[in-house]
């Protein structure tokens, strides 16, 4: 059973009020919350990353969701499940890496337990919505432009280096220590007045564009040549690679000049049966995407 079927099962039991965006928006408390786990041999391999890098990435993937919601990163809890073979040095390095990815948030608690065999890291991040415009993937409107910043596909290139025992350290760093753009996130969340849509590209750029289009019941047309990426990255890597953690936003066109440092990679148009058109590559259902899916 895949993740989409599992999520449908869960929706049937607990309702859909808060299910949709990567963060849940808890209006009465003025916060957003997200929780993500990294599991050894599913999301990472001990041989491929240092404990510092694992700590960094565990926090970064959750802070990225907070930034994509438009909220301000505030607090983090970390639950570590560690096999007996793991010593205090691991924990120390892990926390140093975690501390370097906080982007202003504070680690305020968590849990350490044993584990039979694998390391499991589960992180919860809380963001404050005070003074911020909170995004939703359902907020894109016809006429909006789609913008992003930073190279797509580089994380996939870095992962390829690791898989093939090559050592381009800059590419590997894009995979193991993805940089977050808190400045870009802050500017979006504090300067746009209208509802806007934003996601990170954790599961791939195509996935983010498709999910925004689907949740907003619109179509997104994207010009592949406008998407920032390294020349060596393939279309597959750029569109489906995942784990780049770049922000992708659909915003009113009038803000274009405020974000002149970003790339305008597409526009939002009326839905016509196709959800996403990337320079002629058309996608109508999510299963047509070569989606990054850990399951």
Shortest Å distance, C-beta 222 to its own copies: 28
Residue 69 and residue 241: Cα distance in Å, rounded? 22
Tokens of 251: 């915003």
Shortest Å distance, C-beta 35 to its own copies: 4
Q: How far is CA 119 from the centre of its chain?
A: 22
**Residue list 118-177, contact with its own copies (CB under 8 A):** 118, 120, 122, 124, 126, 128
Which of 45, 85, 104, 111 touches its own copies (CB under 8 A)?
111
Residue 291 and residue 115: Cα distance in Å, rounded? 30
Q: Which is nearer to its own copies, 119 or 227 (CB)?
A: 119
User: Using alpha carbons only, what angle is made at residue 135 by residues 256 and 208, rounded to the nearest 5 degrees?
Assistant: 80
**Residue list 47-76, contact with its own copies (CB under 8 A):** 74-75
Q: Which is nearer to its own copies, 106 or 254 (CB)?
A: 106
Which 8-state DSSP code applies to residue 178?
P
The yes or no reply on residue 91 touching its own copies (CB under 8 A) is yes
The yes or no reply on residue 31 touching its own copies (CB under 8 A) is yes
Residue 167 and residue 160: Cα distance in Å, rounded? 10
Residue 35 and residue 105: Cα distance in Å, rounded? 15
Residue 49 and residue 66: Cα distance in Å, rounded? 24
Which of 45, 85, 108, 287 touches its own copies (CB under 8 A)?
108
Q: How far is CA 253 from the centre of its chain?
A: 24
The yes or no reply on residue 77 touching its own copies (CB under 8 A) is yes
Residues lying near its own copies in the complex (CB under 8 A): 1, 3, 5-7, 9-10, 12-14, 17-19, 23-24, 26, 28-31, 33-43, 74-75, 77-79, 81, 87-88, 91-92, 95-96, 99, 106-118, 120, 122, 124, 126, 128, 294-295
């Amino acid at each position: 059973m895949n993740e989409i079927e599992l999520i449908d099962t869960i929706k049937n039991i607990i309702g859909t009020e808060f299910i949709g965006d990567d963060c849940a928006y808890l209006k009465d408390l003025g916060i957003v919350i997200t929780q993500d786990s990294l599991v050894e041999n599913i999301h990472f391999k001990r041989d491929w990353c240092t404990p510092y890098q694992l700590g960094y990435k565990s926090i970064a993937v959750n802070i990225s969701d907070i930034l994509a919601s438009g909220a301000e990163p505030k607090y983090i809890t970390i639950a570590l499940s560690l096999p007996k073979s793991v010593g205090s040095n691991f924990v120390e390095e892990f926390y140093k890496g975690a501390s370097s990815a906080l982007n202003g948030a504070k680690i305020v608690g968590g849990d350490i337990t044993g584990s039979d065999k694998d390391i499991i890291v589960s992180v919860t991040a809380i963001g404050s919505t005070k003074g911020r415009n909170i995004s939703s993937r359902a907020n894109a409107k016809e006429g909006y432009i789609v913008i992003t910043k930073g190279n797509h596909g580089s994380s996939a290139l870095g992962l390829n280096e690791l898989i093939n025992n090559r050592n381009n350290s800059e590419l590997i760093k894009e995979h193991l220590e993805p940089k977050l753009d808190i400045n870009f996130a802050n500017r979006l969340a504090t300067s746009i007045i209208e509802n806007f849509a934003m996601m990170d590209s954790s599961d791939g750029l195509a996935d983010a564009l498709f999910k925004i289009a689907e949740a907003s019941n619109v179509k997104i047309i994207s010009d592949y040549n406008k998407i920032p990426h390294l020349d060596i990255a393939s279309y597959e890597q750029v569109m489906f690679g995942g784990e780049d953690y770049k922000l992708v936003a659909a915003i009113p066109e009038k803000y274009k000049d405020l974000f002149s440092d970003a790339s305008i990679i597409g526009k939002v148009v009326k839905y016509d049966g196709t959800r996403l058109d990337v320079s002629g590559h058309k996608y109508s259902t999510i299963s047509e995407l070569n989606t990054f899916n850990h399951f």
